[in-house]
Amino acid sequence: MYTDTERCVRAVQSKDARFDGWFFTAVLTTRIYCRPSCPVVPPKVENMTFYPSAAACQQAGFRACKRCRPDTSPGSPEWNARADSVARAMRLIGDGVVDREGVPGLAARLGYSARQIERQLLAELGAGPLALARAQRAQTARLLIETTELPMADVAFAAGFSSIRTFNDTVREVFALAPSELRTRAARSAKPPATPGVITLRLPYRAPLNPSNLFGHLAATAVPGVEEWRDGAYRRTLTLPYGHGIVALTPRPDHIACRLSLTDPRDLTLAISRCRWLLDLDADPVAVDDQLRADPLLAPLVDKAPGRRVPRTVDGAEFAVRAVLGQQVSTAAARTHAARLVTAHGVPVDDPEGGLTHLFPTPEALAGLDPEQLALPRSRRTTLTTLVGALTDGSLQLGTDTDWERTRAELITLPGFGPWTVEVIAMRALGDPDAFLPTDLGIRRAAEQLGLPSTPAALTARAAAWRPWRAYAVQYLWTVDDHPINHLPA
């Protein structure tokens, strides 16, 4: 979008928050870059130039605006709606892969050379993987500076910087303030004192956002010990590269309040990325709802409660295991089966603020389970053990960077994997916005009540008009049935 100057100018002059994250406005006279909704008086048109990413702005010599905080904009919705190499690279960079594995590690995961990835990212985003990762490190550092009492040296290495000097230089360059000045400014604002070991932050999103199906679904399907709904917040444990964490996510009118407790602050970038992915916060709800509203049978559902998101997962392997446990059983039964696995194979954790007790077991932890101990039909046991084996040996990958169609083809070859299981994994674990569940019982009931075709083939043909947002259509169709997943818990 940043190449359409006229459209960008209109968005800036109207301070339209829907375009935050789509592009960034750099002001030639002040050498500052802003989000489109910046509250200051818009600059003259001839002084504006536009960039596709904060990293491109920083690379061109602009610093972040202190009023609108462009580093806290929602991410571009393009990276959620696409599965090409650039979108997959951006999701991996958001997960901190460049900081942990370097550019060669990023390229290896994508199956391209480092030079090819560099070329593709420069062409589309105006910055290479190192510059994009540097911009993200600066944002992580600012969060740690402003929300914790960590010494600056610890902040530098937790944010992914290789040296304190690089950390100081980057923070000064990006924010025009020294790290100590950022902390002093944050301390002046009227905020409650920080809880030791807890990072509190705001997760932005594009309005509207309907929390009912999003948090209702997560709460209704929560695995005891791993997830819970407490005091108006969805809480769960996280398995992270350097340790584990506990997150509490609370819906607010203009943001999601996030409280993170991490055993190692180096996991902050990935934890934030996983939470945003879980809640689908980088979606463009206006674009989605406008297309679905064009169908006269879906329009009343969209108008009644716009802004529905697709509830995802923090770990693709975890969700795949839970999807198998949920085959042809009720939500309550699926939770019971999962809770038994957690108790037997999950790593215990301490949760002083609530009732979380375990991490969900990794595929490696489940590799040694005895199928005979599972209270499941024999065919389901085979399905589960085969899935765990494929995840453990690496022949099946279910990360945010995986190719959607190739992974579908791999899943369908596993015993016991039918279209429903494959598509629900594609929707919630892989993040495909066009995943569709024509054989789902709730979808078939909704189709009958709304007058949509009831057979899977006919319904799929009718749903072609909803592409590429059929996963969001599923969320609206599920609301026809009065199920706990559609309501916030009391």
Q: Which residue among the candidates 8, 20, 34, 71 is catalytic per the annotation? A: 34
Residues 6 or more apart in contact with residue 124 via CB below 8 angstroms: 52, 86
**Can 440 be counted among the known catalytic residues?**
yes
Compute the half-sphere exposure of residue 317: CA atoms within 13 Å on the CB side of its CA: 23
Q: Which residue among the candidates 267, 282, 434, 440 is catalytic per the annotation? A: 440
Q: What is the dihedral of CA 323, 326, 330, 336, to 10 degrees?
A: -110
**Residues 238 and 247: beta-carbon distance below 8 Å:** yes
Alpha-carbon distances, residue 460 vs 311, 337, 370, 452 (angstroms) = 22, 31, 39, 10
Query: Do the bridges between strand 233-240 and strand 227-230 make them parallel or antiparallel, or are there none, so unpaired?
Result: antiparallel
Distance CA(184)–CA(180), nearest Å, equals 6
Per the listing, tokens 């089966």 go with 337
How far, in whole angstroms, is CA 357 from its chain's centroid? Answer: 24
* Residues of the chain by 3-state class (helix, strand, coil), percent to 5: 50, 10, 40
Identify the CA nearest to 313 among candidates 225, 472, 425.
Answer: 425
Sequence length of the chain is 490
The type of residue at 37 is S
Give catalytic residue positions. 34, 440
